[in-house]
Amino acid sequence: MTKVSMTVDGVRYDDDVEPRMLLVHYLREVGRTGTPVGCDTSNCGACTVLLNGLSAKSCAVLAVQADGAEITTIQGLANGEWHPLQQAFHEEHALQCGFCTPGMIIAAADLLRDNPHPTEQEVREGLEGNLCRCTGYQNIVRAVLRAASEGAPS
């Protein structure tokens, strides 16, 4: 067991974990089950979180590698009211089953941090590491463009 300490959605956790434990499993174990696991090869991006402000697939990070980090999951993104991306996803019907949504929104937040005014093609390319099986991505792209036009903070 190895000691880790990290802040997840504003709450500090100190725990002993197996060195092999994936960050996503650790997050789910401390009750942040809003972040799901969709694959085992880091292709789908459902588990994407912000790790020290940058998007990371939490299935491709060991919990011990996140020692000392600040993590934001989908459950910590809203600040009293919904994040503009959450609002835009709702209004543009950018989710159906919703399983990819946490990772998709977090990845989009990082995309807009990096490029606050992307073109449609830049959104499409920027989100290609996050797979969705329901929407065909069209409304996801619309939602991200809408949030960008409304000046979404990252």
Partner 1 sequence: MTVTTEIGKPRARKEDARLLTGQTNWTDNIVLPGMLHVCYVRSPMAHARIRSVDVSAARSAPGVIAAFSGADFAAEQGSLPCAWPVTPDIIIPAHPPMATDEVRYVGEIVACVVARDHYTAADALEKIDVDYEPLPAVLDMEAALADGSPKVHEAGNKSFVWPFAQGDIEAAFRDAPVVIERTYRQQRLIPCAMEPRAVVCDPGGDEFTLWSSTQIPHVLRFLAAAVLGIPEQNLRVVAPDVGGGFGSKLQVTAEEFLGLLIARKVGRPVKWTESRSEGNLSVHHGRDQIQRIRLAADSDGRLRGLSVDLLADMGAYLMLVTPGVPLLGAFMYNAIYKMDAYSFTCTGVFTTKVPTDAYRGAGRPEATFAIEHAMDDLAAELGMEPLELRKRNWITHEEFPFTTIAGLTYDSGNYEAATAKAVELFGYDDLRKEQAARRASGDPIQLGIGISTFTEMCGLAPSRILGQLAYGAGGWEHASIHMLPTGKVEVVTGSSAHGQGHETAWSQIVADRLGVPFEDVRVLHGDTQVSAKGMDTYGSRSLAVGGVAVVGACDKVIEKAKTIAAGLLEVSADDLEWTPGRWSVRGDPEQGRTIGEIALATFAAHNLPDGVEPSLDSESTYDPNNFSFPHGTHLCAVEVDTETGQVKIRSYVAVDDVGVVVNPQIVEGQVHGGVAQGIAQALYEEAAYDAEGNLLTTTLADYLIPSSADLPTIVTDRTESPATSNPLGVKGVGEAGAIASTPAVVGAVVDALRPFGVTDVEMPCTAQRVWRAINEAKGGAR
Question: Under a CB-based contact definition with an 8 Å cutoff, are residues 112 and 105 in contact?
Answer: no
Q: CA–CA separation, 104 vs 98, rounded Å?
A: 10
Pick between residue 96 and residue 154 the one whose CB is nearest to partner 1.
Answer: 96
Stretch that binds partner 1, among 41-49, 50-58, 62-70, 145-153 (CB under 8 A): 41-49
CB of 118 to partner 1, least distance (A): 12
Say whether residue 13 binds partner 1 (CB under 8 A).
no
Side-chain half-sphere exposure of 114, counting CA atoms within 13 A: 14
Q: Please give the C-alpha separations between residue 28 and each of 6, 77, 129, in angstroms, as whole numbers.
A: 14, 16, 21
**Cα angle: 50, vertex 51, 53; to 5 degrees:** 65
Say whether residue 63 binds partner 1 (CB under 8 A).
no
Say whether residue 147 binds partner 1 (CB under 8 A).
no
Say whether residue 90 binds partner 1 (CB under 8 A).
yes
Residues that bind partner 1 (CB under 8 A): 18, 20-21, 25, 28, 32-41, 43-44, 46, 73-75, 77-78, 82, 86, 89-91, 93, 95-102, 105, 120, 123-125, 127-141
